[in-house]
Structure 1
Amino acid sequence: MSTGGNGAPKRSKVEALKLESQYLKLPLIDEVNADGASVGEQAMQILKFHGSYQQDDRDTRVQLRREGQEPAYSFMVRVRIPGGRIDARQYLACDELSRAVGNETLRITTRQEFQLHGILKQDLKSTIRKVNETLLDTLAACGDVERNVLCCPAPVHDAVHAEMQEDCARLAAHFAPRSSSYWDIWLDGEKIDNPDAPRPQPALVPTAGDDAVEPLYGKTYMPRKFKTAFALPDDNCTDVYANDLGYIAVVEGGHVVGYNVVVGGGMGTTPSAKKTFPAVAVDLCYVPRPEALRVGEAVLKVQRDFGDRGDRKRARLKYVIYDWGIDAFKAKVEEYLGEPLTPPRDLPITEVDDHLGWHEQGDGNWFLGIPVENGRVKDEGDLRLASGLRAYFERFGSPARLTCLQSIILTDIPPDRKDEVNAWLEEYGIASAEETSTVRRWAMACPALPTCGLAVTESERVLPAVMGQFEEAMARLGLEEERYSVHMTGCPNGCARPYNCDIGLVGRGASKNPDGSPGPGTYTIFLGGRVQGDRLNVVYKDYVPLERIVDELVPVFTRFKVERGPGESFGDYCHRVGVEALAAEGAEA
């Protein structure tokens, strides 16, 4: 932990802002209603806890600066959706907001949420209120708190999936901030409550000095963001090892009897700061289902009390575990619990399902998983996904689920309406899972330019073209049915989880087009992770121009086709042979 000159722990600037905010209220409550297109730096930091980021259009930033104008400010609003469960009314409300006050698109995130982009400050308060009126909210979708809690979205009607979703909802409610600031600022003090939602409980692991307003978080909340996911050993569709806290279901007799708890995952890193790194979570314990929330609270409180509040680059839980070791961390969690933890069960992750295509639900109805490229719900050319989904929810009125691969699942479809739904897909030019290449089904990207202030390269806007190059190369090699994951980000922060997949493409540096205009950038290529998400990949090549990415990988796929073992995946092959050896051979070629 960082220390000051007198040996006392250092506190970052953001820590001071949180303390001065009086539980996330000041100065945001004054600036939200003030004139102007933006909020100040202090309010901008506090705004994140309420589920919104201030952004500007980086495509126009330089020109506006030359003209002496301020940036084209807007706001991203993130809708918190635990477990990715929404109903038709909620979808249609978000769609309406995207058209009325946004940029006419919805974006499905890698954490089962919706993002609305292009919201002007004058519309921010009414937008957040409208979200709450649907019994969703934006509270804690961003900021130094528990983020949206993930759970397998498959609408399978069995006890296992129902129990996992119940536990997900219970944990999300319990870990949500409890200060009234959110309702005071956005809803004029009125709390719009969902009567069916789980209620937060008193602190399950009482600690000395628990705060009366925020018993879990205190006045300065968490050192950095905290992420949690629920998964199954045979379906890690939530990428559980990329989270600070993960629950892997232990199933006996058709019920969840408990969970293997894993801790310390996180993707963000800063290449120039060697003290930072991505990490996959490690085993902590086994916990019976009734005690799962209590153990999770203890883990959260240890991170709250011992995470680095002086250096935000090293403030995630993974660094506490790295510095202490898992045994010391486990001992501290046991100290908070007041009892020993049980060793984890032998329960490796074996598979991942993207839940796309038609599937029986188990109650006589069907669900349909629809691929949404990079999560962007839009109308563009012959594709009319935004208008198509609007028509679907207006016509059918059934619920849906959002996936961590940025796609959408339409649920509760009666068998006698399957033909009608298939005709709807064709009418609006929406590609089915069967019409989507394998590599596109398992690819995803962060938004990056032009809205993200951290992006150094393109991501979402260029990945579709890169996928086209992959499709052509795989067809030539006869590997078009091969499943491997490609995750692209516009910077090293890892929002699209590029460090534990088969092929990670991470924005490295800016580039220029021949005419001198900004180019799409250069990338670091990582290889050797895998779809299951339980292993980090490593650097294959650095500073690769966008147009060279697939060409640099074709020799590796060519070797893979000849040298792979029976049933061996691309990521496992790269790991077995050694990415450094593959890179060395590529350099000699």
Structure 2
Amino acid sequence: MNKKYNNNNDKNILVLSDNERIKQESNFLRGTIAQNLDNNLTGGFNTEDAQLIRFHGMYQQDDRDVRVERANQKLEPLINMMLRCRLPGGVIMPAQWLAIDDFSEKYTLYGTIRLTTRQTFQLHGLLKPNLKNVHRLLNELGLDSIATAGDVNRNVICTANPMESTLHHQVWELAKSISSYLLPKSNAYAEIWLDSKKTESTDSEPILSATYLPRKFKIAIAIPPINDVDVHANDLSFIAIRGDNTDQIIGFNVLVGGGLAMTYGDTTTYPRKASEFGYISTKDVLKIAETVVTIQRDWGNRSDRKHAKTKYTLDRVGVTTFKSEVERRSGVTFHPIHPYVFTDRGDRFGWVQGIDDYWHLTLFIENGRISNNNPRKLLKHGIAEVAQIHSGSFRLTANQNLIISGVSKDNKLMVESTLRKYGVINDDITPQRKASMACVAFPTCPLAMAEAERFLPKFITKIENIMSKYRLEKDAIILRVTGCPNSCARAMLSEIGLTGRSIGRYNLYLGGNNIGTRIPRLYKENITENDILNILDMTISRWAQERNNHESYGDYVVRSGIVHAVINSEKDFYDE
């Protein structure tokens, strides 16, 4: 480990965070998880194992809606686990979906499936006695949850645009290759959850090291002109470049150092756009991915987890130094960036015909929550019934939506009629609602300061009324809400971003753009929903009257001076 880059000071004294000790002493992620599983006196794990199960794809949570009530009854909080599947590129087969759907209905507290912005699904409300069962099920289905949390490379995401079927297959295969290549090599997952034979002390982690990465690491692959994976939110992004033959990808532009989380009150933390490093050929993708990961492994800050992400390493050592080290270690020279343009980043809803002549149906899933809680919209029943008759695949998008992919012309009517029967397809969903999303927040996320998923639907109805008042029903503003400043719903790449401060109060950010290449600026801090609606009514009214042609809301509020554009977030994100 290169001590030169492990601290933010010049004293060269390394004081590791306690997470580093936990990882070092974990025996390659085993800890005492197996022993904790047999402890029936509590529904949870001890403090150290609660950190280690993240590397196995789970977070320990409790139901915050009943926390006070249980405390008054002298009961332990309703501890349960959230499990996140590893699903590179977001492709899942109907048979796999049906098995997951059935398990969620029978063995989770909430009976739902949650699609995420990392192009996979989460199960909330897993009790400790059912944990081995869910991992065994995943294994039987050819799936797992390895490295979907913790200080490792997370689920690799890629463009899900159904019209580009041939190109999508190429980037999906690449996403799977990157994911497999960067997985932890420890046998701990198989030993603990699948009762695999214990290995001797021969574990090694040639890429990740015995203490793994300083913090989580995210990778995305985009196919212009669609930026549906928000490339600037990732530690490492590959932007596909087509050859003269539009059905073939010849190489990738490489972007490094994106990340959106920050800490309230700490101006040394900030969201950051990724930096362009250059162009590489397709054959060098795995080598570059490994090299960027290992540099972050060696140079990342292991003393202060608030500054441990790749973006802070890049800003601390400098883009030029980091890029030169990538070239030196990999033996790959970056060529100048190939021109590329993003024109949109939303999902293409409804039926589209791919270049392979199969049809693809993109369904709007509000906040990614698939349930039967609304009797007029039985999402779980409808999607499960389609899964029983569908011979193609499902694609999960990075915007929390679902694509029924690879439908033959003969089966289109049957698929659509099934979904309409259960209210899954709704022709009255506005562009504004489709352009909005939220993180989970309450009641399950322990970090949530305010509501997000449960807040957004009614809030969007109020925004729809404002849009209608100014005759903007056909327009949309990228709007995202997160329950805390970690920006799991990527609020820091939206035109309107809300981040929770406390129950019923949010920070309001304005001025991102609709293609995801500009970070918004704080407009008002710690304000109520009514305050937010009054501000948005005023700014949307001005936008309707003063915009140039089809100028987006985010571009308008910057041009008009309502907010100043964030140019370099390390230096000017907190400027007034």
TM-score if structure 1 supplies the norm length? 0.91
Contact 1:261 1:286 in 2 (8 A): yes
Question: Match of 2:212?
Answer: 221
Amino acid at match of 1:545: T
Question: Are residue 573 (structure 1) and residue 567 (structure 2) matched?
Answer: no
In 1: Cα distance, 2:274 partner to 2:321 partner? 16
Question: Are residue 546 (structure 1) and residue 529 (structure 2) matched?
Answer: yes
Question: Are residue 172 (structure 1) and residue 174 (structure 2) matched?
Answer: no
Alignment of 1:195-206 (within 5 A): none
Report how far residue 242 of structure 1 moved: 0.6
Report how far residue 530 of structure 1 moved: 1.8
Question: Match of 2:568?
Answer: none
Question: Are residue 232 (structure 1) and residue 223 (structure 2) matched?
Answer: yes
Question: Match of 1:300?
Answer: 293
In 2: Cα distance, 1:497 partner to 1:468 partner? 21
Question: Match of 1:18?
Answer: 23
Report how far residue 544 of structure 1 moved: 1.6
Q: 1:6 to 1:504 in 2, by over 3 A?
A: closer
Point out the more displaced range, 381-390 or 421-430: 421-430
Question: Match of 1:533?
Answer: 516
Point out the more displaced range, 360-369 or 553-562: 360-369
Question: Are residue 78 (structure 1) and residue 84 (structure 2) matched?
Answer: yes
Q: 1:581 to 1:161 in 2, by over 3 A?
A: closer
Structure 1 residues 244-285: Cα deviation after superposition (integer angstroms, max 9, x where no partner): 000001111221110000011111100211110011111011
In 2: Cα distance, 1:302 partner to 1:27 partner? 30
Unpaired runs of at least 5, structure 2: 1-5, 566-576
Alignment partner of 2:60 out of 54, 63, 87: 54
Question: Are residue 386 (structure 1) and residue 391 (structure 2) matched?
Answer: no
Report how far residue 443 of structure 1 moved: 0.8
Amino acid at match of 1:454: L
In 2: Cα distance, 1:502 partner to 1:190 partner? 51
Amino acid at match of 1:30: Q
Question: Are residue 162 (structure 1) and residue 155 (structure 2) matched?
Answer: no
Question: Are residue 352 (structure 1) and residue 307 (structure 2) matched?
Answer: no
Question: Match of 2:544?
Answer: 561
SS class of match (1:406): coil
Q: 1:341 to 1:468 in 2, by over 3 A?
A: same
Point out the more displaced range, 286-295 or 325-334: 325-334
SS class of match (1:145): coil
Q: 1:331 to 1:363 in 2, by over 3 A?
A: closer
Q: 1:121 to 1:61 in 2, by over 3 A?
A: same
Question: Match of 1:95?
Answer: 101
Question: Match of 1:401?
Answer: 395
Report how far residue 509 of structure 1 moved: 2.0
Structure 1 residues 366-407: Cα deviation after superposition (integer angstroms, max 9, x where no partner): 110000000000112311111111111113343110001101
In 2: Cα distance, 1:431 partner to 1:547 partner? 31
Alignment of 1:227-376 (within 5 A): 227-252=218-243, 253-254=245-246, 255-376=248-369
Contact 1:11 1:309 in 2 (8 A): yes
Question: Match of 1:482?
Answer: 475
Report how far residue 30 of structure 1 moved: 1.8
Q: 1:581 to 1:13 in 2, by over 3 A?
A: closer
SS class of match (1:14): helix
SS class of match (1:579): coil
Point out the more displaced range, 166-175 or 420-429: 420-429
Question: Are residue 152 (structure 1) and residue 159 (structure 2) matched?
Answer: yes
Question: Are residue 122 (structure 1) and residue 116 (structure 2) matched?
Answer: no
Structure 1 residues 332-380: Cα deviation after superposition (integer angstroms, max 9, x where no partner): 2122123532232232433224032101122332110000000000112
Structure 1 residues 309-331: Cα deviation after superposition (integer angstroms, max 9, x where no partner): 00000100000111122111111
Amino acid at match of 1:387: H
Alignment partner of 1:435 out of 407, 414, 428: 428
Contact 1:3 1:10 in 2 (8 A): no
CA RMSD of aligned residues (A): 1.8
Contact 1:538 1:579 in 2 (8 A): no
In 1: Cα distance, 2:406 partner to 2:281 partner? 31
Structure 1 residues 522-566: Cα deviation after superposition (integer angstroms, max 9, x where no partner): 011111112211110001111121243222201101111111112
Alignment partner of 1:31 out of 31, 36, 58: 36
Report how far residue 499 of structure 1 moved: 0.5
Report how far residue 293 of structure 1 moved: 1.2
Amino acid at match of 1:417: N
Question: Are residue 105 (structure 1) and residue 99 (structure 2) matched?
Answer: no
Contact 2:185 2:203 in 1 (8 A): no
In 2: Cα distance, 1:302 partner to 1:6 partner? 21
Structure 1 residues 80-105: Cα deviation after superposition (integer angstroms, max 9, x where no partner): 11000000011111111111111110
Contact 1:287 1:342 in 2 (8 A): yes
Question: Are residue 8 (structure 1) and residue 8 (structure 2) matched?
Answer: no
Unpaired runs of at least 5, structure 1: 192-210, 511-520, 583-589
In 2: Cα distance, 1:415 partner to 1:485 partner? 33
In 2: Cα distance, 1:94 partner to 1:155 partner? 24
In 2: Cα distance, 1:468 partner to 1:562 partner? 22
Question: Match of 2:570?
Answer: none
SS class of match (2:217): coil
Amino acid at match of 1:186: W
Amino acid at match of 1:49: F
Amino acid at match of 1:17: I
Contact 1:3 1:9 in 2 (8 A): no
Contact 2:178 2:286 in 1 (8 A): yes
Alignment of 1:517-528 (within 5 A): 521-528=504-511
Contact 1:82 1:172 in 2 (8 A): yes
SS class of match (2:38): coil
Q: 1:66 to 1:223 in 2, by over 3 A?
A: same
Contact 2:84 2:148 in 1 (8 A): yes
Alignment of 1:176-215 (within 5 A): 176-189=183-196, 213-215=204-206
Report how far residue 6 of structure 1 moved: 7.7
Question: Match of 1:199?
Answer: none
In 2: Cα distance, 1:580 partner to 1:475 partner? 24
Report how far residue 168 of structure 1 moved: 1.1
Contact 2:482 2:488 in 1 (8 A): yes
Amino acid at match of 1:19: Q
In 1: Cα distance, 2:165 partner to 2:380 partner? 31
Question: Are residue 68 (structure 1) and residue 74 (structure 2) matched?
Answer: yes
